[in-house]
Amino acid sequence: QSALTQPASVSGSPGQSITISCTGTSSDIGGYNYVSWYQRHPGKAPKLIIYDVSDRASGISNRFSGSKSGNTASLTISGLQAEDEADYYCGSYTSSLTWVFGGGTKVTVL
């Protein structure tokens, strides 16, 4: 199972909105509504922010939203804040009954 494709980096100024894409295939993202997103600050454990494509995890700000179209899922962060600077990873269930993740996107707040 090939990894999901994410942009290596995305940047934005405080208050702006950014979107991170995550592209897979019909065997993973396109075939199931089981996309999740994780935020990882340096040296910290990854933290669930979105599950089942668009549901926010408990305690996660409504500035974070998820969506999916075809084989591509997206994570949007609106009202970008300095604390959002982190690495973000998407993940999806697959038709092989396994999980596949993206390569990660580094978000920089300018």
Partner 1 sequence: QVQLLQWGAGLLKPSETLSLTCDVDGGSVSGYYWTWIRQSPGKGLEWIGDINQSGVTDYTPSLKSRITITLDTSRNQVSLKLGSVTAADTALYYCARRVAKWFDPWGQGTLVTVSS
Binding site for partner 1 (CB under 8 A): 3-4, 6, 32, 34, 36, 38, 44-48, 51-52, 57, 89, 91, 93, 97-104
Please enumerate in sequence order all residues whose Cβ is within 8 A of that of 89, keeping only pairs 6 or more positions apart, or say none: 6, 37, 38, 40, 46, 101, 102, 104, 105
Task: Considering the complex, state which of residue 24 and residue 80 has its C-beta at the smaller distance from partner 1.
Answer: 24
Q: What is the DSSP letter of 89?
A: E
Task: Considering the complex, state which of residue 50 and residue 109 has its C-beta at the smaller distance from partner 1.
Answer: 50
Task: Considering the complex, state which of residue 20 and residue 100 has its C-beta at the smaller distance from partner 1.
Answer: 100
What is the chain's Cα-based Rg? 13
Whole-number minimum distance, CB 107 to partner 1, in Å? 15
